[in-house]
Amino acid sequence: MKKATVGAVVVGAATVVAVAALVARHRMKKSSKWTRARAILKEFEEKCATPDAKLKQVADAMTVEMHAGLASEGGSKLKMLISYVDNLPTGDEAGVFYALDLGGTNFRVMRVQLGGQDGGIIHQEFAEASIPPNLMVGTSEALFDYIAAELARFIGEEEEKFHPPPGRQRELGFTFSFPIMQTSINSGTLIRWTKGFSIDETVGKDVVSELTKAMQRQGIDMRVTALVNDTVGTLAGGRYSDKDVSIAVILGTGTNAAYVERAQAIPKWHGPLPKSGEMVINMEWGNFRSSHLSLTEYDHAMDTDSLNPGEQLFEKICSGMYLGEILRRVLLRMAEEAGIFGDEVPPKLKDSFVLRTPEMSAMHHDTSSDLRVVGDKLKDILEISNTSLKTRRLVVELCNIVATRGARLAAAGILGIVKKMGKDTPRESGAEKIVVAMDGGLYEHYTEYSKCLENTLVELLGVEMSTSIVFKHANDGSGNGAALLAAANSHYVEDKSGK
């Protein structure tokens, strides 16, 4: 009997030891996996680092590329496109003007009534329409006829008080967000379609001429007085309300910048010098590249898998289209190598672009004690349930690394423009005020990103210059800005009353 009892005790003890060893092994395995996850994070953080010295090198490289792009066509990865906008709104414009904004599969028509000096924008109204998929791949005539028909409907429904007097044409600013070679303030030929459009016969044609012919077919007596892109429109909208606005930056799905340059500082400009002595330059800065950019293996892999490998590298690390995707790629590696979401890699995590930047922003801004928003987003988007608080904190850390790098590099880009304009150092008369008109969903809604960008630029400019920089949210450059440019370039500019 005693032998049996002793045997049972021995077996029981052995079982306890075995279970304890199993638990210890499990803990060690879990601990080593967590160590691996932290190592991946640390390596990523180091490669994304943007110390001030590096940002100043990026700014200098931006300035060098700007000079090269202004010197000759194709002289730089920065296109530095001449916008032909040499008259920005002054605030004195009066009358009723229209805008047509074709930015993708949707378009808007808008009417803006301006009240002249001190009057501002008295009234604005717009209508939206989507373009049927068959027209995106049909004929040029069919597409522009559809757009002109919507414009005719919008005008047909307006009150009589907006009608122009006899003998006066309505005037329109046309925002056309596709690659064009601008040939004057109100003409430009299409280089290529993007965003799902494919109408070969339009390529090489003047898009203003195509729209004008369609308006004539619809019986609309209207003249396009300005062909603009949304960044130039943002600059115009900003200048209308603040005469010190000289730079515009869009940070949304993509990113771009425009600024006011001295006409004499544009060697590739061969036309007569404008009366204003100035010219707005559309930089197309998304294509900027430099050896000083903080690129990681995740960025290179994303670029390789993209529709435009080797292009738009600056955009791919700064803009809303890509920040969430960079985060997804780092999380995927952590899931594969460190099992942060369990033994199985969540299938959804393998889907490109499944994690969008608005969701990343929501997780980054989560201030709840248990990071509930992070848990909900991981569950809803990636179908990952029961994440630990430790894992959620790791996700927030990664959001911060990705957003901080993007925001700080965008700030360095703006510093490059400020340096090119010669406004980066104080003058004897004191620091010159620099107002940057900002627009885009990323800037507007991702608070941590925009705060970081603004603080970084102030930091880079130094104490003496820090009070001279002002950021101004200039909403709807592609609509309001286009109408304002139509007004600034009106053929009836002498008629200040608008009657």
CA dist., res. 213 & res. 363, Å (int):
49
In terms of average pLDDT, the best of 260-264, 272-276, 308-312 is 260-264
CA dist., res. 121 & res. 109, Å (int):
17
Residue 496 confidence (pLDDT) above 50? no
Residue 482 confidence (pLDDT) above 60? yes
The phi-psi region of residue 383 (left if phi > 0; otherwise alpha if psi is between -120 and 50; otherwise beta) is: left
Task: Please state which of the ranges 28-32, 132-136, 268-272, 375-379 shows the lowest mean pLDDT.
Answer: 28-32
The per-residue pLDDT for 160 is 83
The per-residue pLDDT for 495 is 44
The per-residue pLDDT for 498 is 40
The per-residue pLDDT for 418 is 96
End-to-end CA distance of the chain: 116
Give per-residue pLDDT as tens, 336-376. 999 999 989 999 999 999 999 999 999 999 999 999 999 99
CA dist., res. 361 & res. 321, Å (int):
12
Q: Under DSSP, is residue 470 helix (H, G, I), strand (E, B) or coil?
A: strand
Residue 8 confidence (pLDDT) above 90? no
The per-residue pLDDT for 259 is 98
The per-residue pLDDT for 216 is 96
Average pLDDT of the chain is 90
**What positions carry a catalytic annotation?**
195, 230
Q: CA 303, 306, 307 angle in degrees (round to 5)?
A: 135
* Mean pLDDT of the 203-228 span: 96
Residue 69 confidence (pLDDT) above 60? yes
Residue 497 confidence (pLDDT) above 50? no
Split at pLDDT 50, 70, 90, the class of 27 is low
- Report the predicted TM-score, pTM, of the whole model to 2 decimal places: 0.88
Task: Please state which of the ranges 308-312, 399-403, 493-497 shows the lowest mean pLDDT.
Answer: 493-497
CA nearest 406: which of 50, 34, 108? 50
Residue type, 301: A
The per-residue pLDDT for 308 is 84
Residue 11 confidence (pLDDT) above 80? no
Q: Using DSSP bridges, classify how beta strands 222-228 and 170-176 pair: parallel, antiparallel or unpaired.
A: parallel
Task: Please state which of the ranges 201-210, 271-280, 296-305, 346-355 shows the lowest mean pLDDT.
Answer: 271-280
CA dist., res. 456 & res. 412, Å (int):
8
More confident residue, 100 or 19: 100
Give per-residue pLDDT as tens, 71-128. 999 899 999 999 999 989 988 999 999 999 997 788 899 999 999 887 888 989 999 9
CATH number of 84-228: 3.30.420.40
Residue 208 confidence (pLDDT) above 80? yes
Split at pLDDT 50, 70, 90, the class of 7 is low
The per-residue pLDDT for 14 is 52
The DSSP result for 227-276, as a single string, is: EE-HHHHHHHHHHHH-TTEEEEEEESSSEEEEEEEEGGG-TT--SPPPTT
The per-residue pLDDT for 355 is 96
CA nearest 174: which of 198, 190, 195? 190
Residue 286 confidence (pLDDT) above 70? yes
CA dist., res. 159 & res. 99, Å (int):
17
Residue extents of the structural domains in the chain = 52-80+243-474, 84-228
Residue 165 confidence (pLDDT) above 70? yes
Query: To 10 degrees, the CA torsion angle through 39, 43, 48, 50?
Result: 100
52-80+243-474: CATH topology is Hexokinase; domain 1 (3.40.367)
Residue 10 confidence (pLDDT) above 60? no
Residue 22 confidence (pLDDT) above 70? no
CA 490 to chain centre: 30
